[in-house]
Amino acid sequence: MESDIENRPTAQAKGLLPIDIERIKADFPILDQKIGDHQLVYLDNAASTQKPRVVINAILEFYRKYNANIHRGLHYLSEKATAMYEHTREHTASFIGGVQPKEVIFTGGTTGAINLVAYTWGEENISEGDEIVISEMEHHANLVPWVILAKKKNAVLKRIPVTPDGYLDLTNIDTIITQKTKLLAVTHMSNVLGTINPVEALAKKAHAVGAVVLIDGAQAAPHMPIDVKAIDADFYCLSAHKMLGPTGVGVLYGKAELLDAMPPFNLGGEMIREVRFDKVTWADLPNKFEGGTPNIADVVAFDSALHYLEELGMDNIRQHEMDLTAYTLDQLSAIPGLEIQGPRNSNQRGGAISFTDSDIHPHDISTFLDSKGIAIRAGHHCAQPLMKIMGKVATARASLYIYNNEQDVDALVKALGEMRRYFGL
């Protein structure tokens, strides 16, 4: 029987398939509920995605059958838990493009991963007068650590501007990335504009001047095939909870030679080789960066999320979201008073779609939609500098995923029409 399962062609192996959304929806217990009188329509996926039954069950099963601390235990449960935890590491390594498992560090999330780099690599490698290049569309997670590091080291923070239609403005990129650039830290996909950035080309430019490249993949990794080797990223960060996995798990991918040279971050158990009162030596990768008991159960369950995504095929997921994004942009464009942010071409963007109404504040939009069972997000989306550049105090954002279909978008569009009447417009 086992060989049958192994030989079963995955969606990916069969090529691009139309995704059966109704079947997928049925895999997510939380989606089958009413909010007040209305069927839940979940469009807040850029903030966090829902979990399929296999992920929920994996957490349950771990605590029921395998729970123990990992790595040092000399008993069955500890060995089993260790194997499961390390299996997810191997799986993650293959998921992001076939890197070495020891190059995959588990963190609490993307924020934790970026901070790890800022406080270790950044501390050791950034000095006075060095330049750190970011973009104007960064999430605070890939902005605040660099603002603080630059201040502390008297380094210079330089920005790649954003065009009015939501792309990175690369016109003057050769004056932004210079011989002084030590780090390029840029998002793969904007959480506000949906823009997919040309990270490969940017990495090439940065490497040409000897800079290190960190990519914030929190929004990209859930929605498209990721190959960190093709990008030639030195660091790539992502969050499990934005890709069907549990909260509290993030990934820092780093090239082995960089990670090896970096000092550890969390000092304590698990990350040491030998401890004496006068001297401590560090463990090898990846343990050096995983001091303390990690989030074992959730890392183990993340494996099931990766399986689920692979079963659908990342190419299929990307295709589905491109189609649905194009449909959504089309439908939203027809609503009077609505202004859509970000690229209009669904080939160059993901399904996080920010919009504003000429008269109604995003928080009122969100509250109204909530009364119709529709979950979106409203606010500055942890990108206050970008909001300022866009000339907005806040936006409303609907963000799509694999369990969303045209009916969900239609429900949003219908409610937005009713909203204007409700507020007397």
Partner 1 sequence: MSGSLDDMYRDIILDHYKAPRGKKPIEEANIASDGHNPACGDELELKVSVDGSTVRDVHINCKGCAISVASSSMLAEQIKGKPLEEVKGLAEQVRKMLKGENVQLPEDTDDLDALKGVRNFPVRIKCALLAWVTLLEGIKTFEKGTGESKTINLEETD
Active site residues: 382
Q: Alpha carbon 125 to chain centroid distance?
A: 26
In the complex, what is the shortest distance from the CB of residue 405 to partner 1, in angstroms, rounded to a whole number? Answer: 24
Q: Are the CB atoms for 236 and 103 separated by under 8 Å?
A: no
Examine residue 394 and tell whether it contacts partner 1 (CB under 8 A). yes
Contact region with partner 1 (CB under 8 A), list: 9-17, 113-121, 324-332, 354-362: 354-362
- Residue 143's nearest CA partner among 153, 129, 132, 128 is 132
In the complex, what is the shortest distance from the CB of residue 417 to partner 1, in angstroms, rounded to a whole number? Answer: 16
Of 268 and 337, the one with the shorter C-beta distance to partner 1 is: 337
| Choice from 80, 389, 393, 406 touching partner 1 (CB under 8 A) | 393
What 3 state SS string does 89-123 have? HHHHHHHCCCCCHHHEEEECCHHHHHHHHHHHHHH
End-to-end CA distance of the chain: 62
Q: Are the CB atoms for 190 and 353 separated by under 8 Å?
A: no
Of 82 and 395, the one with the shorter C-beta distance to partner 1 is: 395
Contact region with partner 1 (CB under 8 A), list: 153-161, 222-230, 296-304, 391-399: 391-399
In the complex, what is the shortest distance from the CB of residue 424 to partner 1, in angstroms, rounded to a whole number? Answer: 6
Q: Say how far apart CA 260 and CA 179 lie, in whole Å.
A: 25
Examine residue 422 and tell whether it contacts partner 1 (CB under 8 A). yes
> What does the angle CA 59 – CA 64 – CA 70 come to, to the nearest 5 degrees?
75
Of 36 and 336, the one with the shorter C-beta distance to partner 1 is: 36
Of 167 and 368, the one with the shorter C-beta distance to partner 1 is: 368
In the complex, what is the shortest distance from the CB of residue 385 to partner 1, in angstroms, rounded to a whole number? Answer: 13
In the complex, what is the shortest distance from the CB of residue 349 to partner 1, in angstroms, rounded to a whole number? Answer: 24
In the complex, what is the shortest distance from the CB of residue 141 to partner 1, in angstroms, rounded to a whole number? Answer: 17
Q: Are the CB atoms for 248 and 265 separated by under 8 Å?
A: no
Q: Say how far apart CA 235 and CA 138 lie, in whole Å.
A: 16
> What does the angle CA 279 – CA 281 – CA 286 come to, to the nearest 5 degrees?
155
Residue 317 φ/ψ, nearest 5 degrees:
-60, -45
Q: What residue type is assigned to position 227 of the chain?
A: D
Of 71 and 139, the one with the shorter C-beta distance to partner 1 is: 139
Of 155 and 382, the one with the shorter C-beta distance to partner 1 is: 382
Residue 41 φ/ψ, nearest 5 degrees:
-120, 110
Q: Are the CB atoms for 84 and 66 separated by under 8 Å?
A: yes
| Choice from 170, 180, 319, 423 touching partner 1 (CB under 8 A) | 423
In the complex, what is the shortest distance from the CB of residue 36 to partner 1, in angstroms, rounded to a whole number? Answer: 7
Strands (E), 175-232: 181-187, 212-216
Of 33 and 347, the one with the shorter C-beta distance to partner 1 is: 33
Q: Are the CB atoms for 218 and 185 separated by under 8 Å?
A: no
Q: Say how far apart CA 92 and CA 101 lie, in whole Å.
A: 8
Examine residue 387 and tell whether it contacts partner 1 (CB under 8 A). yes
Residues 6+ apart with CB under 8 A from 176: 133, 158, 159, 160
Look up tokens 């279909």; give the residue.
Answer: 405
In the complex, what is the shortest distance from the CB of residue 363 to partner 1, in angstroms, rounded to a whole number? Answer: 4
Residues of span 355-384 touching partner 1 by CB under 8 A: 360-364, 367-368, 370-371, 379-380, 384
Residues of span 22-81 touching partner 1 by CB under 8 A: 35-36
Give the binding-site size for partner 1 (rule: CB under 8 A). 21
Of 11 and 41, the one with the shorter C-beta distance to partner 1 is: 41
Residue 216 DSSP code:
E
Report residue 81 as tokens: 């838990």
Query: What is the contact surface with partner 1 in residues (CB under 8 A)?
Result: 35-36, 360-364, 367-368, 370-371, 379-380, 384, 387, 392-394, 422-424
